[in-house]
Amino acid sequence: MAAPHFNVFVSGVTSSVEDWQKAMNAPKTELPKLNEEQREVARKMGISEEEYARGVLVGQYGEKTQLERGRTLGKRIEEILEGLGDPYRLEALIREGVKFRWVARIDTPRESRSVAIPMDLADDIIDSGVVQDLERLRVIILEALGRKDLLGSLQ
């Protein structure tokens, strides 16, 4: 399979416990440099700049993790689209954390379509990739793209 050519965007990032632990144990040399606005916020909150920087680092770790997860999910989507032929291409994958979903932006022969993928299904695919979950993803994508003809006897 060719290298992925889609973009991954993340909004509403939630960091994990592991992200917090990693940031709290990070050496001071790895902490991000705060800008003037961030230093002012830390002062107003009554916390040290180091403590605030660790919070920023948590967010950076969480975003990096979600971008990696998005790339993994995107590769699975591309595998499904390969079966449809060249006119179908994953353009972007957007994590909408507040809405608990990923949205795949797919170019079709006629138009671009947005396909919502529930976060729980995406997590299952990323974490284990069992056949049943991949098939659920395939059905969601084919239905959203108007390609129910390829579902066969599943429906």
For residue range 64-93, list pLDDT tens digits in order: 999 999 999 999 999 999 988 778 999 999
- If one counts the domains in the chain, the total is 1
The reply to whether 124 falls in a domain is yes
Using a pLDDT cut of 70, give the percent of the chain over it. 95
Backbone angles phi, psi at 22, to 5 degrees: -60, -45
Tokens of 144: 């959203």
The reply to whether 154 falls in a domain is no
Please report which confidence band the pLDDT of residue 15 belongs to, taking 50, 70 and 90 as the band edges.
confident
The reply to whether 122 falls in a domain is yes
> Angle CA(55)–CA(58)–CA(64) in degrees, nearest 5?
145
The reply to whether 129 falls in a domain is yes
| Alpha-carbon Rg for the chain in angstroms | 19
* Enclosing domain of residue 143: 7-148
Question: Which among 47, 1, 54 is positioned nearest to 24, based on CA atoms?
Answer: 54
The reply to whether 2 falls in a domain is no
The reply to whether 46 falls in a domain is yes
Quote the crossing angle between the two packed helices 49-82 and 119-127, to the nearest 10°. 80
For residue 151, give Cα distances in angstroms to 21, 88, 140. Answer: 45, 17, 10
Please report which confidence band the pLDDT of residue 2 belongs to, taking 50, 70 and 90 as the band edges.
low
Please report which confidence band the pLDDT of residue 149 belongs to, taking 50, 70 and 90 as the band edges.
confident
Question: Which among 2, 13, 136 is positioned nearest to 68, based on CA atoms?
Answer: 13
Q: State the chain's mean pLDDT as an integer.
A: 91
